């Protein structure tokens, strides 16, 4: 590590200890202490990174809750980035629920109250007209990823405005923690457009604009200025949209997907991990994707996004668009989506196929005979015993995904799905349910967690420098993810790779995605002889 600060001067003394990217704390050697004016500013002992990590683990054990662990770890990141990533990357499966979902949800709810120090940028609607100038204030120039949210729909918690900043910060940490993307090329941004959450606006600790979000046209014009400013200030940077209000998310992705380097994880990442789970399930059943009939329970941004990607995947396997769309049906709060409905959005109309109106899910299942049922409704307990049994009556091995989260919003639990189907269901959820025992056999329910996908997309993008990230990149990522589920795991009902070797999984997936980017003229980097070795050479290593 060169001890040069972002302003390119050699940092010394307290300034060096205050720079989280350069600080090594007690690991500064005697020679470095002498050279950089650190003598007397640190205790005598010179420690290894491992010894420092051991101390951090001890501190974490003393903390009474995951929220306290989160606050401690973010504090550590503010002091010593290398040590933070050494700890988090030592056991991602253990730390992801702390630095990200579900703890980050709680952290967002209390963001103004637990706020310590800024990380990333806050670009508010007030700055309209000078967004490029504001972005230029960021000290780093080689920004390759911006994760940007308005806070408009944070996890299942609604509009949290500026409190949503915990999400871009956490998402970008996962690029590094899961896929070893170098952290200094990542910039979290909260686009502060105000919040519709009046309780937040009344909270004296709230840190954002205290006003309602602007009308759509005004919002879009502000977002347009932001997107153009990113092209100007950080050319080649990928914009990752995250946790925007559903309608804004769909509209803006459609507007920018083929114009700039960007993607939306809520839409495309979710769709990709769901497709990965379906691919594994179909490999277990020995069935083809193009022969499935899929019913979505919930027709919001997640349902539409997954449906669209499945349709593209079916088309890539030979179906026409009409045939592929015809295999996908939606059911929402008002019942089955069919042509007599007058309340449909353009993206829902694509899946409004001729059928008898139905407001009872079981009736819809009996009429449509789906092989796959996917819950993205935000309403817990809606996949009742009747629903699971109706799927079992039609299918020897029904595929049932209950993706709504948090836990209490899951359409059914893993235990219910396995018990009601007598172990026949191929099941996945949005949350991690504990193992279930049915008739002496243990089932390990899979978690359709986007973290198998977006860090790998990030790593492939970091390496291959594509001009666009297309839907096909997400299909390739899904297939690569499914191909890494060992037969051992499949036997136990797992539809996703183990979380233990997450870096290995992400590198393998990123390699396939980068290969696709090279093969299809998306990449601008020079094609290496061996893509995997080339990518491995770029991985961030948390060491001094
Ligand atoms: P949304 O609010 O845009 O859509 C919800 C949809 O469910 C709407 O179409 C609504 O009409 C329908 N719905 C509501 N109540 C219903 C009921 N009683 N019966 C039938 N349909 C009903 O929400 P979005 O963004 O589509 O997310 C849906 C869920 O998916 C959320 O709980 C979210 O946590 C989950 N999700 C899971 C992911 C994962 O597992 N990787 C990723 C993204 C979302």
pLDDT of residue 179: 97
Residue 6 vs residue 274, higher pLDDT: 274
Checking if the pLDDT of 116 tops 80, the result is no
pTM of the model: 0.93
Q: Which atom of ligand 1 is nearest to the CA of 299?
A: 9
Grouping H, G, I as helix, E, B as strand and the rest as coil, residue 430 is: coil
Lowest mean pLDDT among 125-129, 306-310, 353-357, 489-493: 489-493
Give 105's pLDDT tier (boundaries 50, 70, 90).
Answer: confident
pLDDT of residue 3: 62
Question: How far is Cα 62 from Cα 33, in angstroms, rounded to an integer?
Answer: 31
* H/E run at residue 335: strand 335-336
* H/E run at residue 402: strand 399-402
Q: Which atom of ligand 1 is nearest to the CA of 153?
A: 25
Give 298 Cα–ligand 1 centroid separation in angstroms.
Answer: 5
Average pLDDT over residues 245-254: 88
- CA-to-CA separations, 440 to 400, 423, 436, 444, in angstroms, rounded: 22, 10, 10, 13
Average pLDDT over residues 12-18: 93
* Tens-place pLDDT, residues 420-441: 999 999 999 998 899 999 999 9
Checking if the pLDDT of 6 tops 80, the result is no
Give 4's pLDDT tier (boundaries 50, 70, 90).
Answer: low
Enumerate residues 6+ apart whose C-beta is below 8 A from 407: 431, 433
Cβ contact 277:495 at 8 Å = yes
Cβ contact 246:305 at 8 Å = no
pLDDT of residue 305: 92
Lowest mean pLDDT among 174-183, 205-214, 223-232, 380-389: 205-214
Enumerate residues 6+ apart whose C-beta is below 8 A from 525: 463, 464, 465
- For a mutational test of ligand 1's pocket, the pick from 300, 344, 383, 496, i.e. the residue with the most ligand atoms closer than 8 A to its C-beta, is 300
Checking if the pLDDT of 142 tops 70, the result is yes
Q: Which atom of ligand 1 is nearest to the CA of 274?
A: 41
- CA-to-CA separations, 137 to 230, 299, 406, in angstroms, rounded: 12, 41, 37
Cβ of 450 below 6 Å from ligand 1: yes
36 is catalytic: no
Among residues 303, 326, 324, which one has the least CA distance to residue 249? 303
Checking if the pLDDT of 7 tops 60, the result is no
On the CB side of 91, CA atoms within 13 Å amount to 6
Tokens of 348: 């829902």
pLDDT of residue 45: 96
Cβ contact 283:315 at 8 Å = no
* Tens-place pLDDT, residues 500-527: 889 999 999 999 999 999 999 999 999 9
- CA-to-CA separations, 265 to 63, 168, 423, 453, in angstroms, rounded: 32, 11, 32, 9
3-state secondary structure 148-176: EECCCCCCCCCCCHHHHHHHHHHHHHHHH
Among residues 143, 349, 325, 336, which one has the least CA distance to residue 234? 143
Give 468's pLDDT tier (boundaries 50, 70, 90).
Answer: very high
Q: Mean pLDDT for the chain?
A: 94
Cβ contact 282:314 at 8 Å = no
Grouping H, G, I as helix, E, B as strand and the rest as coil, residue 32 is: helix
Checking if the pLDDT of 359 tops 60, the result is yes
Checking if the pLDDT of 412 tops 90, the result is yes
Cβ of 245 below 6 Å from ligand 1: no
Give 446 Cα–ligand 1 centroid separation in angstroms.
Answer: 19
Going by DSSP bridges, is the β-strand pair 294-297/262-264 parallel, antiparallel, or unpaired?
unpaired
pLDDT of residue 117: 76
Average pLDDT over residues 293-315: 95
Residue 222 CB: number of other CB atoms within 10 A?
21
Cβ of 246 below 6 Å from ligand 1: yes
Residue recorded with tokens 């277990």: 284
- CA-to-CA separations, 216 to 165, 245, 460, in angstroms, rounded: 21, 11, 33
**Percent of the chain with pLDDT strictly greater than 90:** 82
171 is catalytic: yes
Cβ contact 161:206 at 8 Å = yes
Indicate which residue of 24, 70, 85, 171 is catalytic.
Answer: 171
Alpha helices in 197-285 (DSSP H): 198-202, 216-233, 246-256, 270-285
């Amino acid at each position: 590590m060169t001890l040069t600060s972002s302003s390119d001067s050699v940092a010394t003394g307290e300034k060096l200890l205050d720079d989280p990217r350069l600080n090594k704390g007690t690991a500064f050697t005697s020679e470095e202490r002498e050279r950089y004016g650190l003598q007397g500013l640190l205790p005598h002992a010179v420690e290894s990174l491992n010894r420092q990590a051991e101390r951090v683990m001890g501190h974490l054990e003393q903390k009474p809750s995951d929220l306290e662990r989160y606050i401690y770890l973010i504090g550590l990141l503010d002091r010593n980035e290398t040590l933070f990533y050494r700890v988090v990357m030592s056991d991602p499966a253990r730390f992801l629920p702390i630095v990200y979902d579900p703890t980050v949800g709680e952290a967002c709810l209390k963001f103004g109250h637990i706020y310590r120090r800024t990380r990333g940028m806050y670009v508010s609607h007030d700055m309209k007209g000078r967004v490029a100038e504001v972005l230029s204030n960021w000290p780093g120039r080689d920004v390759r990823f911006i994760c940007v949210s308005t806070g408009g729909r944070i996890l299942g918690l609604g509009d949290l405005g500026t409190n949503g900043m915990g999400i871009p910060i956490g998402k970008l940490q996962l690029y590094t923690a899961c896929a070893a993307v170098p952290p200094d090329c990542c910039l979290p941004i909260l686009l502060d457009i105000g919040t519709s959450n009046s309780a937040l606006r009344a909270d004296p600790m709230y840190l954002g604009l205290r006003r309602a979000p602007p009308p759509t046209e005004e919002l879009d014009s502000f977002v347009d200025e932001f997107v153009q400013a990113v092209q100007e200030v950080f050319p080649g940077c990928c914009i990752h949209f995250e946790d925007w209000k559903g309608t804004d998310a769909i509209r803006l992705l459609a507007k920018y997907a083929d114009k700039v380097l960007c993607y939306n994880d809520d839409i495309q990442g979710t769709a990709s991990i769901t497709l990965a789970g379906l691919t594994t399930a179909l490999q277990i059943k020995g069935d083809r994707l193009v022969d499935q009939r899929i019913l979505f329970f919930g027709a919001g941004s997640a349902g539409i996004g997954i449906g669209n990607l499945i349709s593209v995947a079916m088309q890539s396997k030979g179906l026409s668009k009409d045939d592929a769309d015809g295999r996908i049906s939606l059911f929402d709060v008002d019942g089955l989506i069919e042509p007599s409905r007058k309340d449909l959005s353009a993206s829902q109309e694509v899946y409004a196929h001729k059928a008898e109106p139905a407001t009872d899910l079981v009736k819809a299942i009996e009429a449509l005979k789906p092989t796959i049922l996917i819950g993205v409704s935000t309403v817990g307990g809606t996949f009742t015993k009747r629903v699971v049994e109706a799927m079992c009556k039609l299918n020897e091995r029904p595929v049932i995904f209950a993706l709504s989260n948090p836990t209490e919003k899951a359409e059914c639990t893993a235990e219910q799905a396995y018990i009601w189907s007598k172990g026949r269901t191929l099941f996945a959820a949005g949350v991690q349910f504990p193992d279930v025992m049915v008739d002496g056999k243990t089932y390990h329910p899979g978690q359709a967690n986007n973290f198998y996908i977006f860090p790998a997309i990030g790593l492939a993008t970091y390496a291959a420098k594509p001009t666009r990230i297309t839907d096909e990149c997400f299909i390739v990522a899904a297939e690569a993810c499914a191909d890494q589920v060992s037969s051992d795991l499949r036997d136990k009902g797992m539809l996703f790779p183990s979380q233990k070797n997450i870096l290995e999984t992400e590198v393998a997936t990123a390699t396939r995605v980068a290969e696709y980017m090279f093969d299809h003229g998306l990449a601008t980097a020079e094609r290496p002889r061996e893509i995997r070795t080339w990518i491995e050479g770029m991985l961030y290593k948390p060491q001094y």
